[in-house]
Amino acid sequence: MAAEQSRLSATHVLEYPYRRSVGPIMGRFLTGLRDRRISGVRTGDGSIVVPPLEYDPATGAPVTEFVDVGPLGVVTTWAWVTTPRAKHPLTQPFAWALIKLDGADTGLLHAVDAGSADTMKTGMRVKPRWRDERVGDIRDIVCFEPEGS
Amino acid sequence: MSESLKPVTAIKAPVHLEFSYTAGRASTRFLRGMAQGKILGQRCPECGKVYVPPRGSCTICAVPTDVEVEVTGKGTVTTFCIVRIPSDSLSIDPPFTCAHILLDGADLPFFALIQECPFDEVRMGMRVEAVWVPKEELGPTFESIKYFRPIDEPDASFESYKEHL
Amino acid sequence: MRDVAIVSFAQAKNVRRELDANEVEMVMPVVSEAVEQSGIPRREIGFTCSGSCDYLAGQPFSFVSALDAVGAWPPISESHVEMDGAWALYEAWVKIQIGDIDSALIYAFGKASMGDLPDVLTLQLDPYYVAPLGPDSVSMAALQARAYLEATGRSERDLAAVAARSRKDAKTNPAAQVTGDFDPERLLGEPYLVSPLRKHDCPPISDGAAAIVLASGDLARKVCKRPAWIRGIDHRIEAHGLGNRDLAKSLSTAEAGRRAGLGTGAVDIAELHAPFTHQELILRDALGLGNEVRVNPSGGPLAGNPMMVAGLARFGEAARVLMDGQASRAVAHATSGPCLQQNMVAVLEGE
C-alpha cells in the first residue's frame, strides 16, 4: 500500500509540428490525388510501382516515367478491424488492405469500408472513395469500397 | 479548376504522443522531499559522492546510490548565463539568469534560476540560497524552489568548485 | 575473423508496467548482473553499446541519461543504436573484429508502458504514404498473417499452437510475462483482435531490459567455462513498403541465415524474434528449421516482448542454452521494422 501511494507520475505530451517536403516524385503522385488521379512510376524491369518511389528498388536508377493506374484494384491481403483506434481513418469497423490497382505491380496500403468482414475477400475488386476537399495527401482517398457499392 | 492549383510540394505530418512518466525510486524520494521543503540527495556507497537531485545511481561507480542525505538550500554558482531569448515554454520573461548551482555537501551542480540579483553582479563562486514557494504551495516538484538568491557570504574559491564545472 | 563469444546474459523480468523504476533503475541491475557474471572487471570492458528508442521514451536522446547506469565517467568507449539491442551487439561484434578490444558490454531497454505502443510504432512507417492513415502494429501484422495463411494453406489453428507452445515453454523462464497451459482449441474460441489475429497471436506489451557481455578468444575461454561462440552473424533488409515485398516469405531472413553459415550443420534450438505467431512460421520456413529444432524454449517474444530488448534477449537465451550445455548449436534471430522488414541471424556454438 505504501509503495502504491508513494509512486509519482507525470503526464508528458510530445508534439512535433512537422511539415515534410515531398519532392518531385511524391509531389506528382499527391498532386494527382488532388485531381482524383492515381499514378505510379515505371522501373527498369517494366513494373509499375504504386505509390511511386523515387528510385528503382532493383538498380537505384532515378524513375522518370509516370503511368496512371486504377482507379479500381484488387485486394491482395486484408485485416479486419472490429474496434477502430483514434488515429484510424474510419470510425466504423473496416478492413486494412493491400490493393493492387489495375495496371500496378505493387500493393497500396489503405482502408476498405466494406460494412462487414463477411464482405471482405482476397481478390475482391475495390474502388476509391474520394474526399470532397482534396489537398494533395494520401487521405484524399477516404478509403476504398467494394466495386459494386 | 484544380488544374490551376500549384503542384503539391509538402504535407503536414504532425506527431502527437502522450506519455505517463513514472519518477522511479530515487526521483520519487527527492520529489517527496521537495513537498516537505527538504532537499534530499543520495551518496554513492563506493566513492562517497553526493548526487542532488539523485538519479539512483553513481555515474562513476555504476552502483545504486541508496544512502540518503539531506543538504541545505545553500550553495555556490559554478557557472551561469543571462537568457535574452523569449520562449513559449518558459513561465518567465527574459532577460533572466540561469545558473549551475553546487549545493553545499553535493558533488553535482544542477540548473536553476537566480533572482534578486542585478545581471552585472552575478558571478562564478557567488554564494546563493534557495527561495521556496510558500509552505502551503509546496509540492512534489522542483518548482517548490522558486529560485536562488545571493546571500551575504564571501565568494567560494575557484579551487572549491573547479572539479564540479 | 576473431572468435567472439557471448559469456554472460542477464534480463529483467518482463512486466506490463514497471511503476517503481525509471529507465536507469531498470538498466542498472541487469548491467551489473551481466558484468559480474562475465568475470571481466567493469573498467576492463573495452566497449559499451546500447539499443533503445527515443519515441518509446518520448524524449530525444533519451539513451544518454541511461548511461548513468553503466559508469560512463571517466569517459568510456561507447555507442548507441536507435534499434533493438541485437544491432548494438552486431556493432560490438564488428568492433571486436577490428581487433583493438577484446570485450564489450551490450544492453537494451524499453519501457513501452509510458506511452501508447501501437501509436509509437506507427511512427516507424513511411511518413508520406502510410503513417498519415494511422495503421497500427497489430493491423500491419494481421495483413501479413492473412497473406501467409492464404499463400501456404496453414490455418489459424497452426497459429494457436505456436501461442500455446510458447506460453507453456515460458513457464520455466523466470523473466517471462505470459505463461501457462492453454488449449489451442480454446484459444481459437477467443474473438479476433484484428482478424485473422487473436490476442494470443500477438505479443504482450512489456517493459524490460537485458544485457550481454561479449569476449574474444582466450579471454572468453578464461572467464567462461562454456562460451557461446558466434560462428556467423549477418543482417539483411527488405523494402519498407508492405506492398513492395512478399509478406508470406522472409527473403532477408533466408539470406542472413545463409550468410551466417546456418546451412553448414544441424541446429538444436532456435530463439526467433517473432512477435506474432505467424511470424515464427515464416521464419522457420525461411531458415529451413525442421520439426526437430526446438524453437523458442524461453517462450520467445509471445511470452514477453520489451521493445528494443526482445531481439537481444533472443541472443542471450540461445547463448544460455549453450552455456548450460543443453545444446551445442543454436540460431539466434532478431527483427526490426514492420512485418519482419529487417532480420539478423547468428549461428552460435558451444564447446
Q: Convert the pLDDT of each residue in A51-106 to its tens digit.
A: 999 999 889 999 999 999 999 999 999 999 999 999 999 999 999 999 999 999 99
Closest CA to C156 of C195, C116, C99: C195
Confidence band for C351, pLDDT divided at 50, 70 and 90: confident
Are A79 and C143 within 8 A, CB to CB? yes
C-alpha gyration radius of chain C: 19
Q: What is the dihedral of CA C278, C284, C290, C296, to 10 degrees?
A: -80
Q: What's the whole-number mean pLDDT along residues C54-75?
A: 88
Using the predicted structure, report yes or no on whether residue B91 has a pLDDT greater than 90: no
A16–B23 C-beta distance less than 8 A: no
Instruction: Say if A77 is an interface residue toward chain C (CB within 8 Å).
Output: yes
From the candidates A85, A100, A112, which should be mutated to test the interface with C, based on the most C CB atoms within 10 A?
A: A85
Q: Closest approach of chain A CAs to the CA of C130, in angstroms?
A: 7
B108 contact residues in C (CB cutoff 8 A): none
Please state the ipTM of this predicted complex. 0.95
Confidence category of residue A5, pLDDT binned at 50, 70, 90: low
Does the beta carbon of C209 lie under 8 angstroms from any beta carbon of chain A? no
**What is the average per-residue pLDDT within C117-138?**
94
pLDDT band at residue C59 using 50, 70 and 90 as cut-offs? confident
* pLDDT > 90? residue C73: no
pLDDT at B7 over 90: yes
Contact C20 A85 (CB under 8 A): no
Looking at residue C225, what is its pLDDT?
Answer: 95
Distance CA C214, CA C90 (A): 10
Per-residue confidence (pLDDT) for residue B1, from 0 to 100: 45
Q: In the predicted model, what is the mean pLDDT of residues C145-157?
A: 98
Q: Which residues of chain C are at the B interface, by a Cβ-Cβ cutoff of 8 Å?
A: 18-25, 28, 31-32, 42, 55, 57-58, 65, 67-74, 114-116, 119-120, 123, 127-128, 131-132
Domain ranges of chain A: 21-146
CA C208, CA C206: separation in Å to the nearest integer? 6
Query: Residue C84 — φ and ψ, nearest 5°?
Result: -60, 150
What pLDDT is stored for residue C61 in this prediction? Answer: 87
Tabulate helix, strand, coil % of chain A (nearest 5).
Answer: 15, 40, 45
Residue A39 CA to its chain's centroid (Å):
13
Domains in chain C with CATH codes: 4-116+205-228 (3.40.47.10), 118-202+230-349 (3.40.47.10)
Average pLDDT, chain C: 96
Prediction pTM value: 0.94
Residue A83 burial (C-beta neighbours within 10 Å; 0-12, 13-18, 19+): exposed
% of chain B at pLDDT higher than 90: 79
> In chain C, what residues touch B13 (CB-CB under 8 Å)?
127-128, 131-132
3-state secondary structure B88-123: CCCCCCCCEEEEEEEECCCCCCEEEEECCCCHHHCC
C237, with CB counted inside 10 A (0-12, 13-18, 19+), is middle
AA identity, residue C7: V
Contact status of C212 with chain A (Cβ, < 8 Å) = no
Strands C207-216 and C4-11: antiparallel
**A49 contacts in chain C (CB < 8 Å):** 244
- Is the CB of residue C215 less than 8 Å from the CB of residue C9? no
Among C236, C288, C298, residue whose Cα is nearest residue C267: C288
* Chain C: touching chains (3 or more CB pairs < 8 Å): A, B
Cell of B68: 540518503
Residue B3 has pLDDT above 60, yes or no: no
Judged by DSSP in three states, C185 sits in helix
Q: How many CB atoms lie within 10 A of CB A46?
A: 7
Yes or no, beta carbons of A109 and C130 under 8 Å apart = yes
**Is residue A3 pLDDT above 80, yes or no?**
no
Query: Quick one: average pLDDT of B92-118?
Result: 94
3-state DSSP assignment of residue C28: helix
Is the model's pLDDT at B27 over the cut of 60?
A: yes
pLDDT of residue A12: 93
Q: Which residue has the higher pLDDT, C160 or C351?
A: C160
Mean pLDDT of C20-38: 93
Give me Rg for the CA atoms of chain B.
21
Identify the pLDDT of residue B131: 97
> How sure is the predictor about B165, in pLDDT bands with cuts at 50, 70 and 90?
confident
Counting one residue from chain A and one from chain C, the pairs whose CB atoms sit within 8 A come to 110
State the best of B2, B9, B22, B142 to mutate against chain A, taking most chain A CBs within 10 Å: B9
CB spacing of C120 vs B17 below 8 angstroms: yes
Mean pLDDT of chain B: 92
